[in-house]
């Protein structure tokens, strides 16, 4: 039988992993957005 | 009363009601909320737009340098391109802000910047195409 303490610890671990995954997703998205912005030339047309 | 006289009215009623075309839903566009689940889709679309903008920039520059597009039109295209690029950057920055702090205010700001960019981007594509420049898909 699984005790309440183990369930609480597993739940906390799950929440922590979810937060880490969300942070990684944000960081990855920000890096990709930065790269996309840098890929669009700033120079003038024909310049 | 024979069987046909009973069935025919039923067929007529069915034809007039049950077989009628289903009602057409109203053409209302409902925006889907932005969630972290669609981050990859949003960023992927953004990357596609970046590649398309860079290609349009290159093709317009080539055409202007070669004199295939008159100088006044090149000036107009350059102004529109710079506005579009600025809106593109603002859209990306707004999305990053929303991801860091997903408040309704940040979501509204992102949607506003996305709409602003979409408007300018469509104008740029249209004007480039009008001058014979092939515009890529996103």
Q: B47–A40: do the CB atoms touch at under 8 Å?
A: no
Among A37-41, B35-39, B53-57, the minimum mean pLDDT is found in: B35-39
Tell me the average pLDDT across B18-38: 51
Q: Is the pLDDT of residue B12 over 60?
A: no
**Residues in chain B closer than 8 A to A40 (CB atoms):** 50, 53-54, 57, 85, 88-89
Q: B57–A47: do the CB atoms touch at under 8 Å?
A: no
Q: Is the pLDDT of residue B128 over 80?
A: yes
Task: Encode pLDDT of B62-101 as tens digits.
Answer: 999 999 999 999 999 999 999 999 999 999 999 999 998 8
Name the interface residues of A facing B (CB cutoff 8 Å): 22, 25-26, 29-30, 32-37, 39-47
Residues B29 and A16: beta-carbon distance below 8 Å: no
How far is B39 from B47, CA to CA, in rounded Å? Answer: 12
Give me the pLDDT at residue A19, please.
86
How far is B91 from B87, CA to CA, in rounded Å? Answer: 6
Q: B100–A33: do the CB atoms touch at under 8 Å?
A: no
Q: A37–B95: do the CB atoms touch at under 8 Å?
A: no
C-alpha triplet B84, B86, B88: angle, nearest 5°: 70
pLDDT band at B30 (very low <50, low <70, confident <90, very high): very low
Give me the pLDDT at residue B28, please.
45
**Residue whose pair of structure tokens reads 């944000």 in the numeric block:** A26
Q: Is the pLDDT of residue A1 over 80?
A: no
Percentage above 70 pLDDT, chain A: 98
The first and second tokens of residue B34, run together, are 């932005």
């Amino acid at each position: 039988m699984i005790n309440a303490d183990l369930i609480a610890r597993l739940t906390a671990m799950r929440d922590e992993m979810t937060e880490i995954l969300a942070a990684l997703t944000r960081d990855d998205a920000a890096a990709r957005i930065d790269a996309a912005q840098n890929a669009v030339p700033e120079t003038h047309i024909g310049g | 009363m024979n069987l046909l006289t009973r069935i025919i009215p039923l067929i007529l009623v069915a034809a007039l009601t049950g077989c009628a075309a289903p009602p057409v839903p109203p053409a209302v566009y409902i925006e889907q909320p932005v969630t972290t689940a669609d981050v990859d889709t949003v960023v992927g679309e953004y990357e596609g737009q970046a590649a398309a903008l860079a290609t349009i920039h290159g093709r317009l520059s080539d055409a202007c340098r070669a004199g295939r597009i008159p100088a006044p039109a090149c000036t107009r295209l350059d102004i529109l391109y710079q506005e579009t690029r600025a809106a593109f950057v603002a859209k990306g920055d707004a999305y990053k802000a929303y991801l860091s702090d997903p408040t309704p205010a940040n979501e509204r700001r992102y949607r506003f910047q996305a709409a602003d960019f979409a408007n300018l981007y469509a104008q740029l594509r249209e004007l480039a195409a009008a001058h014979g420049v092939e515009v890529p898909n996103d």
